[in-house]
Amino acid sequence: EELFHSKNGARKSAKKVLIVITDGQKYRDPLEYSDVIPQAERAGIIRYAIGVGDAFWNPTAKQELDNIGSEPAQDHVFRVDNFAALSSIQEQLQEKIFALEGTQSTTSSSFQHEMSQEGFSSVLTMDGPVLGAVGSFSWSGGAFLYPPKTSPTFINISQENVDMRDSYLGYSAELAFWKGVQSLILGAPRHQHTGKVVIFTQASEQSPGEQENRGAVYLFHGTSGLGISPSHSQRIAGSQLSPTLQYFGQSLSGGQDLTHDGLVDLAVGAQGQVLLLRSQPVLNVGVTMRFTPSEVAKAVHQCWEEVPSALEAGNATVCFTIQKSSLDQLGDVQSSVRYDLALDPGRLISRAIFDETKNWTLTRRKTLGMGDYCETIKLLLPDCVEDVVSPIILRLNLSLVGEPIPSAQNLRPVLAVGSQDLFTASLPFEKNCGQDHFCEGDLSVNLSFSSLQTLVVGSSLELNVTVTLWNEGEDSYGTVIHFYYPAGLSYRRVLGTQVNSSLSLSRQEDSTKYFNFSTSDEKSKKEAEHRYRVNNLSQRDVAISINVWVPILLNGVAVWHVPLLNHSQSLTCVSEREPPQDPDFLTQIPGSLVL
């Protein structure tokens, strides 16, 4: 009641999310869940429950955790072994909460004004204050105009054939006046990675005196409430039609179909002339994306050995439904549709690629008419997949340019203003998690030392440890085994003898190692060999340096003769001599065996 109250900053229109982290059942609380959960349901609060520790293996405790989270439990309830493991579900929980703010459809989600950052910039105009909204429509950007006593109007340039993705329109806002005309100037610093400035001119519907009396006409759309939008949707300047026009817009006559195509026309008067402006057919495009199969099979994404070639993950079917929202008599019209597909956008390395391009991106350009059109695209997994918890994301960006209609004097159809142009769909990985879709592994580990009972230093040159890990339950993800060994031992290598799951190895240890050897005869020589092999398991280059210190002279007597270094050509070796800290090593040895 207090947390989501307006006095504490909660907005009525905002989605409300509650995350509960608990390590056991409730204790000495007089209230039952049946008393409080219905209140949260009525308030529309979406609840995520995270159980930490072993207590939730108990059926009663697990049921209590399910009661805390919203339904269905498989989407709102998580369990981890300890608090340190909370980071393992952070990304999954973040994606679920992030998607709540998106504009949802049956197959995908996108963002309109949910991430708008409204107020990023501001300016006061004669029509009211304007607030920049750089994050609207997936960071294409725009601005909101707040006229007095009317609803706000969103300003952008989506109706133009301009790619404004990630442009941040509205990052800055200024006002300019030129010959009595007020213009709103919005900055888009990230447009095409070079930047763009967009100018919106604000005036009345008829402006015959604009631009040195050349004139202009402003078109305003109607609204669902039988009203008129306070902001114009299109500005037609007389100079666009003819450089000789004067007082374009001094008279208007509309509402009639003078060209007999089923669309209303607008007659515009100018000095000594009348011009006929035709309406364009308006198109709506629906997009659906589905995968076959609906999950990436375990036989494909689980690697038992090195993958010789890319494996087929399945097919993505992309479908378009093109319909007219305008009532006309033009019949079927054609449009040039471009769509860009991307797999795992935002990831450093995509887990899937398109078979056609052998890359994570694919671009199509097609000329389509009215109706339904589908295309099936094959997807591949080029390598073993480490992250099978989060699904593969398929993103589609859409743009449409109408083709000329010969029977209508090359009139072109246009995409409806404000149409969605960004779509996403998810392809999950198959998991053995039962009907509840919640994985419960049953892991066991066993260590054996090759029948060695006692380790004798100096006698046993190598200690081999065989580690056996098996799972008798459902799939286990993010499983980690830590090995700790005394400083007297030096790590040498690790080998996977029988691997039936995805496996990655890494180690962290002190960087200083000591190599002990001896020779009994003062006159004899003995070769001592020590090899280092460094494997970089990261995706980035790592700077490596290895320093080898050996005693070459003890009291003037040579103890290390002609050291040899064999190394790869990519390494540079430098040899330096350093005087001993104590000139008499015999006095130093009793205090420290390290020279």
Distance CA 177, CA 459 (A): 92
pLDDT band at residue 516, thresholds of 50, 70 and 90?
low
Residue whose entry in the numeric block shows the structure tokens 């699904």: 391
Q: Tell the burial category of 535 from Cβ atoms under 10 Å away from its Cβ (0-12, 13-18, 19+).
A: exposed
Pairwise pLDDT comparison (229 vs 448), residue with the higher score? 448
For residue 377, the model assigns a pLDDT of: 95
For residue 106, the model assigns a pLDDT of: 45
Contact of 63 with 26, CB cutoff 8 Å: no
364 to each of 46, 131, 309, 396, 397, how far by Cα in Å?
Answer: 39, 36, 26, 11, 11
Among 113, 192, 195, CA closest to 156: 113
Task: For residue 484, count other CB atoms closer than 10 A to its CB.
Answer: 5
Q: Is 60 exceeded by the pLDDT of residue 423?
A: yes
Among 375, 380, 291, CA closest to 339: 375
Least trusted range by pLDDT, from 86-90, 157-161, 327-331, 459-463:
157-161
CATH H-level, domain 282-427: superfamily: Integrin domains. Chain A, domain 2 (2.60.40.1460)
Q: How far, in whole angstroms, is CA 519 from its chain's centroid? A: 62
Domain with CATH 2.60.40.1460 in the chain: 282-427
Q: What SS3 class is residue 256? A: strand
Fold of 6-100: Rossmann fold (3.40.50)
Task: For residue 310, count other CB atoms closer than 10 A to its CB.
Answer: 15
Angle at 294 between CA 292 and CA 299, to 5 degrees: 90
pLDDT above 70 covers a percentage of the chain that reads 78
Distance CA 274, CA 59 (A): 81
Q: Which amino acid is at 116?
A: S
Q: What SS3 class is residue 33? A: helix
Highest mean predicted confidence (pLDDT) among 56-70, 274-288, 545-559: 274-288
Distance CA 410, CA 167 (A): 32
pLDDT band at residue 427, thresholds of 50, 70 and 90?
very high
In terms of phi and psi (left: phi > 0; alpha: psi -120 to 50; beta: otherwise), the region of 301 is alpha
**pLDDT (tens digit, 9 = 90+) per residue, 332-390?**
899 999 999 999 998 888 999 999 999 999 999 999 999 999 999 999 998 878 788 88
pLDDT band at residue 130, thresholds of 50, 70 and 90?
very high
Domain with CATH 3.40.50.410 in the chain: 6-100
Residue whose entry in the numeric block shows the structure tokens 């039952």: 32
Task: List the helix and strand counts (H, then E) for the chain.
Answer: 9, 31
476 Cβ partners below 8 Å, 6+ apart? 439, 441, 443
Pairwise pLDDT comparison (307 vs 2), residue with the higher score? 2
82 Cβ partners below 8 Å, 6+ apart? 52, 53
Q: What SS3 class is residue 193? A: helix
Q: Is 70 exceeded by the pLDDT of residue 512?
A: no
For residue 567, the model assigns a pLDDT of: 62
Q: Which amino acid is at 490?
A: S
253 to each of 217, 231, 266, 408, 546, how far by Cα in Å?
Answer: 12, 20, 6, 21, 85
Q: Is 90 exceeded by the pLDDT of residue 426?
A: yes
Residue whose entry in the numeric block shows the structure tokens 């060695």: 452
Mean pLDDT of all residues in 457-462: 68
Task: For residue 564, count other CB atoms closer than 10 A to its CB.
Answer: 6
62 to each of 57, 76, 559, how far by Cα in Å?
Answer: 7, 13, 68
Q: Is 60 exceeded by the pLDDT of residue 548?
A: yes
Q: Is 80 exceeded by the pLDDT of residue 541?
A: no
Contact of 421 with 283, CB cutoff 8 Å: no
pLDDT band at residue 395, thresholds of 50, 70 and 90?
very high
**pLDDT (tens digit, 9 = 90+) per residue, 471-487?**
888 888 778 888 877 76
Highest mean predicted confidence (pLDDT) among 72-76, 175-179, 223-227: 72-76
Task: For residue 403, count other CB atoms closer than 10 A to its CB.
Answer: 15
Residue whose entry in the numeric block shows the structure tokens 């005693």: 551
For residue 155, the model assigns a pLDDT of: 85
For residue 108, the model assigns a pLDDT of: 44
**Residue 429, phi then psi, degrees to nearest 5:** -100, 140
For residue 362, the model assigns a pLDDT of: 95
Helix (H) or strand (E) holding 202: strand 196-202
